[in-house]
Structure 1
Amino acid sequence: MRIGELADRAGVSVKAIRYYEQIGLITPSRSDNGYRCFDEDQLRTVAEIRALSEIGITAHRAGAFIECLDAGHEHSDECVSSLAVYRDTIAELDRMIFELTARRRQLQQRLHQSAGRTFDKEPTMTDYTTLPDGLPVPGDDGAADHLPGLRLPEVELPTSDGGVVRLHELGPGRSVIYLYPLTGRPGVDLPDGWDAIPGARGCSTEACDFRDHFRDLREAGADQVYGMSSQSPAYQAEVVQRLSLPFSMISDKSLAVADALRLPTFAAEGHERLYTRLTLVVQNGAIEHAFYPIFPPNTHAQQVVGWLQAHPRDH
C-alpha cells in the first residue's frame, strides 16, 4: 500500500509516518518507480505506535514494543524491555504529578492571599442576606437520625484563632456547632455546579446569620458557638476576620468527626469530601439535637435560637 493509504487506515498523518520512518520504527520497501510501499505488518506497527502515544509513550520510546512484535509476539508488551518502558513512563508521570500538584498548591495559596489583600473587611452582612432564586432544596435522607445521644469523639482540632478545641471536653454547658461545606472568598470561584448541589450554597449567609444572632444564641442558652468545616485554619481565619464573626471556626481537614459520627458528606469539583450542612447542639459531651437538613441557611441561626428557647437547659 502507498503512504497515503497507510495513513488513512492507521488514523495518523502522512507526516507522522515519515517521522516514524526517520527514527527507524518502520522501513518501507520501494517500488520500481521509487514510491514507498507498506504492508500489513507495518500497518500494525503504526497502529501500535499511535496506541502507545495515546497513553503517554512517545514514538521515541516505542522501539521496545515494535521489537517485541517483530520478534513474533502477539502483543507488544510481552517482552521485559516493554515492561521497563511502562515503569519508566509511570515514574516520570508520578514526578510530573508531584510537581504539578505542588505548583497548583502554591498558585492556590497565592490566589487566597491576594483575595485577602484585595478585599476589605466587611462590617455588615449586606451582601449575604439573600440567596439566589431557584436553589434546590435538600431532602431529609435520614442521615442524621442516629446522632441524638451519641458522644462526641475524643479528637483535638485546630481553630481559626490559633488555638485548639477538644470536642469531648466542651464542658457541661450547651455548645452549638454548625457544620458547613466551604466558604467562598470574593474573587475566588466556587466549584463548578455548586448551586446545583442541594444545600451547598449559602455558607457565608449562614455564618452572617450566626454572627448577627450570636447574642440571641447566648441568651437562649448557648455557652459556645462554633462553625466547622474541612477548610484550613488559615482559610477560616480570613473568613472570621472578613465577616467580623464573634466566634471561632473549627478546622477538621481529615473529616475525623464525620468518620467517627458517620456524618453525611458529599463531593464537588476539586473536593473529594465536604461536610454536608448540619448543626449539632451538644451538652455534657453528647449530642442533644441535630438540625438536618438545613434550608435556607441564611435564617438557620434564628431556627437554632427558637429551638433553644423552646428547650431550656436542665440545670
Structure 2
Amino acid sequence: MRVSELARRTGVTVRALRYYETVGLVVPRRRANGYREYDPISVRLVEHIRSLMALGLSVEETRPFVECLLSGADSGDVCPASLATYRRAIDQLEQRITQLAEQRDRLRAQLDAAAQLRMQAQSGRRRAIAAVDPVRLVGAELPDLELVATDGSRVRLRALGQGRSVLFGYPLTGRPGVDLPEGWETIPGARGCTEQACGFRDRHADLLKAGAARIYGLSAQSSGYQREVVHRLGLPYPLVADPRLTLAAALGLPTFDAGEMTLYRRLTLIVANGRVEHVFFPIEEPAGHAEQLMQWLAEHQI
C-alpha cells in the first residue's frame, strides 16, 4: 500500500504519516525502487493512533498500543503497557482537575472580594450623589466640566453658548443583539430611551425654531457606544458621555442601579447663561417629551 492510499483510507495527511514513520510508530517497507510500501496492518495502527490522540494522549503515549497490535494482539488496549498508559493518563487528568478546581476556587474568592469592593464603592458614590429634588436645581450653576460628545468635540458644561441649551439625561439606549440589564422592563422609568431620542430627532428643527439653541443627550454610556446609536438612529444632535457620572455627583442628579451599572434617571435641564433655568422631572412619557419641551419653549420665549 502506497502512502497516498494509506492517507486516503485513514483520513490523515501524508505529512502525519511521515511523522509517524520518523518516530518509529508506523514504518513502511522499502521496495527495490525506493518506494515506501505499507502493510495492511498499518491501517489499524493509524486508526488506533488517531482514536487515542482524540482521547488526549500524545503521539508518544500511543507507542505501547502500537506495539501491542504489532505483537499480534486483537486489540491495542489489552497489553499491560497499554493499561498502564491509560492509568497514568487518568492520574494526570485527575491531578489537573484538582489543580483547575483549586484555581477556580481562588478565582471565585477573588471575584467575591472584587464584588464586595464594588458594592462598597457604589454605596459611597450613591451617598455622594444624593437624591436631591431636581426641581430645586433651578438657578444652580453648572459645574466646570468637559465631557466628550459623539461629534468629537469636548462640551464644556458651564460654557454651552448663547441662548438656551437643552440637556436631556437618559438611562441607556439598547443595541440590536445586545441584552438589556436583567429586569430592565420592570424598572420604573427605564424604558423609552430610544423613543425619546427619536422624538428629539423628529422634532429637532421645530425645537430650534421654538427657542432651543442646541440640544444634547447625556448618558453614562461610553462615547463609542453612543456613536453607534447616533449613526443607527440618524440623530441630528450629539450625545455626551458621562460614564463616571461626574455631572450627577456635582449637581446631585438622580440615578439608579441596574445590575452592575449605575445610570442616570430620565430628566431634562434647560440651561441658559451657565445656569439651570428649568428642570423636567419626572418624565412620564419619553416618546412625547419633545412635544412637551416644545410647548414649554413656546410659552417661555426670551
1:268 maps to which residue? 258
- Find out whether 1:179 has 2:179 as its counterpart: no
2:136 maps to which residue? 146
The unaligned stretches of length 5 or more in structure 1 are 1-56, 62-88, 99-140
Distance in structure 1 (CA, Å) of the matches to 2:137 and 2:108: 47
Aligned residue pair count: 189
**Residues 157 and 165 in structure 1, CA contact (< 8 A), matched pair in contact too:** yes
Question: Aligned-residue CA RMSD in angstroms?
Answer: 2.9
Distance in structure 2 (CA, Å) of the matches to 1:92 and 1:143: 40
The unaligned stretches of length 5 or more in structure 2 are 1-97, 115-130
Which of 280, 285, 288 is the aligned partner of 2:277? Answer: 288
Could you give the per-residue CA deviations for residues 234-270 of structure 1, whole angstroms, max 9, x where no partner exists? 1000000000000000000100000000000000113
1:190 maps to which residue? 180
Distance in structure 2 (CA, Å) of the matches to 1:312 and 1:274: 32
**Residues 182 and 259 in structure 2, CA contact (< 8 A), matched pair in contact too:** yes
- The structure in which a higher percent of residues are helix is 2
Poorly superposed stretches of 4+, deviation over 2 Å: 89-98
**Residues 178 and 279 in structure 1, CA contact (< 8 A), matched pair in contact too:** yes
- Find out whether 1:217 has 2:207 as its counterpart: yes
CA, structure 1 residues 221+94, in 2 after alignment: closer, same or farther (shift >3 Å)? same
Distance in structure 2 (CA, Å) of the matches to 1:171 and 1:214: 18
**What is the one-letter code of the residue matched to 2:280?**
F
**Residues 162 and 233 in structure 1, CA contact (< 8 A), matched pair in contact too:** no
Distance in structure 2 (CA, Å) of the matches to 1:296 and 1:163: 30
TM score, norm. by length of structure 2? 0.58
Alpha-carbon distance, 1:143 to partner: 2.4
**What is the one-letter code of the residue matched to 1:167?**
L
Alpha-carbon distance, 1:94 to partner: 3.9
- Find out whether 1:240 has 2:230 as its counterpart: yes
Q: Summarize the alignment of residues 43-82 of structure 1 with structure 2, pairs less than 5 Å apart.
A: none
Alpha-carbon distance, 1:91 to partner: 8.5
Distance in structure 2 (CA, Å) of the matches to 1:92 and 1:298: 43
CA, structure 1 residues 95+194, in 2 after alignment: closer, same or farther (shift >3 Å)? closer
Could you give the per-residue CA deviations for residues 146-184 of structure 1, whole angstroms, max 9, x where no partner exists? 110001100000011222100001123100010001110
2:74 maps to which residue? none
**Residues 205 and 298 in structure 1, CA contact (< 8 A), matched pair in contact too:** yes
TM score, norm. by length of structure 1? 0.56
Alpha-carbon distance, 1:188 to partner: 1.1
SS state of the match for residue 145, structure 1?
helix
Distance in structure 2 (CA, Å) of the matches to 1:224 and 1:163: 14
Distance in structure 2 (CA, Å) of the matches to 1:243 and 1:228: 16
